[in-house]
Structure 1
Amino acid sequence: MSLAKNILAMLLVTGSLWGCSLSQERATGKTMSLAGSQWQVQEIDGDPVSQDGEVTIAFSEEGRVSGTSSCNRYQGGWYASGNQLELSRMAATRMACPAPLMQQESRFLKLLGDVRRYQFEADGRLVLETVDGARITAVRRASKQE
């Protein structure tokens, strides 16, 4: 009887998560997926991204993540399961730029390395979140090569 209750509970949770995903897809008219998506970062832990430096994130179908981090480019691997997100083997170029952009870049890359969860907001924004609750918020970009 206990096994049957556990299976029923798992089915209910899975159904609830699937239902939430469907309502997001209906609201936006799009399937929400990281694979093959490109994003323009708007906020880094509540602070707006400087207009002087572009911050982007692209998730390839092949499990690679890449983008610009204000001054430099970065890349690595990504893996998602449910709303859990793991970024690995991250590397970035090391060009210098004005101090405010370097500070923004450093903060972004630190938070990006600490990301453990993601979610799509009802308006389609992507929110990446660290274990400590720090957030990176981004909007979808038109498809183009990073």
Structure 2
Amino acid sequence: MSKLAPSLAAALLLTGCASMTPPHLPLDTPYKVEWIGERPLIDSSHLTVTLGADGRAYGHAGCNRWFASYQTNGQNLSFDHAGATRMACAPALMEQEDRFLQALGQVKRWEMGENGELRLWYAEGQALRMLAE
């Protein structure tokens, strides 16, 4: 019994450490944006975010394709100025796309939600909320 106690204690310690390991930022997984801040997306619009393992982010902004580089440090995340193609769509979609691209520029950190959603938080305490496609 005395030989088993140190092994059991070590196993419990490792289990406890494993549960405290922070989640990893999901790379090369396309996420569909569900909310920008406190506002849901326009019905039938399609906004996506993929964070590539190469430090490049890209996706669909509702009307145009977008792209940017990004940097991470633990839970911190920031995007460089996003570029986009230049197609024109309905004014409401263009306004939503502008809000989305502006929000990307304000992202400060990321977290995984309880239901597997990716949340990108920005300075005002709002978030971009996304689900894996």
8 Å CA contact 1:111–1:134 kept in 2: the answer is no
CA spacing shift, 1:130–1:105, aligned 2, 3 Å = same
Q: For 1:135, which of 121, 127, 130 is the aligned residue?
A: 127
Distance in 2 between the 1:44 and 1:17 partners? Answer: 33
CA RMSD of aligned residues (A): 2.0
CA distance, structure 2, for counterparts of residue 75 and residue 122 of structure 1: 28
Would you say 1:126 and 2:118 are equivalent positions?
yes
Q: Which runs of 5+ in 1 are unaligned?
A: 1-14, 25-31, 142-146
User: What 5-or-longer segments of structure 2 have no aligned partner?
Assistant: 1-15
| Secondary structure of 1:97 counterpart | coil
Q: Are the aligned partners of 1:76 and 1:88 in contact in 2 as well (CA < 8 Å)?
A: yes
Q: Is the 8 A contact 1:52 1:101 kept in 2?
A: no
Q: TM-score normalised to the size of structure 2? A: 0.80
Aligned residues: 118
Could you list the structure 1 runs, at least 4 aligned residues long, displaced by more than 4 angstroms after superposition.
Answer: 15-18
Query: With structure 1 as the length reference, what TM-score do the two structures score?
Result: 0.73
Which has the larger Rg? 2
CA drift at 1:52: 3.0
Quick check: 1:66–1:73 contact (8 Å CA) kept in 2? yes
Residues in 2 aligned to 1:119 and 1:89: alpha-carbon distance in whole angstroms:
21
Q: Percent identity?
A: 29
For the 8 Å contact 2:82–2:101, the answer to whether it is kept is: no
Partner of 2:8: none
Does the 8 A contact of 2:81 with 2:105 survive in 1? no
